[in-house]
A and B are shown apart, each in its own frame.
Chain A
């Protein structure tokens, strides 16, 4: 079945440590997105990419970094500069053609906590 796989499901970060969240999709979608979800705040966009080797900052990019070396993969690194990383992180993908009509497909998320 086609879909988006996020790993790990749970992740713990120590002070001063960088951690990387994995997102892989086999839907052949060009666009991929990373969101942060905190209780009562909905989804906030961290980074997005509409094509391989290109990505743009979202609303809350500070303290995060991404890469898009392959169409299927869009890993997110939470750096030590992100002082409040505890949250639920969601990866999504979508078709770029007829962009406004296209829904996003979501993974099942990674919950990141501070040790």
Chain B
């Protein structure tokens, strides 16, 4: 079984300040973890993924995430927020289950960026 919890439904930051979006996961097997971004009325775009190689993963647009097995966390960070980062962010876990690899999505975190 697998599950993912995004700890904040909304995060509000000022432009130029750091971003932290929190994600905890649960999985019976070694999982892969993903972060996606969704702008209004658009599909999801992959930001980054963890696949058991380096625990610190760098993605697009200056985002990165650190896999911490002991804390079962995969938090997304960015040193300096930009107005264009305002969007919905989804944390996703994927692990083997009955021969399939159906991902489980978190409920999403809405990032609000103030000028």
Which residues of A does B touch, CB under 8 Å? 4, 6, 40-43, 45, 48, 50, 56, 58, 88, 90, 92, 99-109, 111
Contacts and interface: CB of A to CB of B under 8 A. Distances in A.
A24 B104 CA distance: 23
B28 to A, nearest CB: 12
A42 B51 CA distance: 23
B101 A106 contact: no
Contacts of A41: 107
A109 B41 contact: yes
Interface string B87-114: 0001000111000111101111000000
Given A99-B101, A103-B49, A108 B106 contact: no
A106 B43 contact: yes
Interface residues of B, number: 25
Interface of B: 9, 31-32, 34, 36, 41-46, 49, 51, 90, 94-96, 100-103, 105-108
A-B pairs, 8 with minimum CB distance: A106-B43, A99-B101, A42-B107, A106-B44, A101-B51, A43-B105, A42-B105, A108-B43
Nearest to B4: A42
B101 to A, nearest CB: 4
A56 B44 CA distance: 22
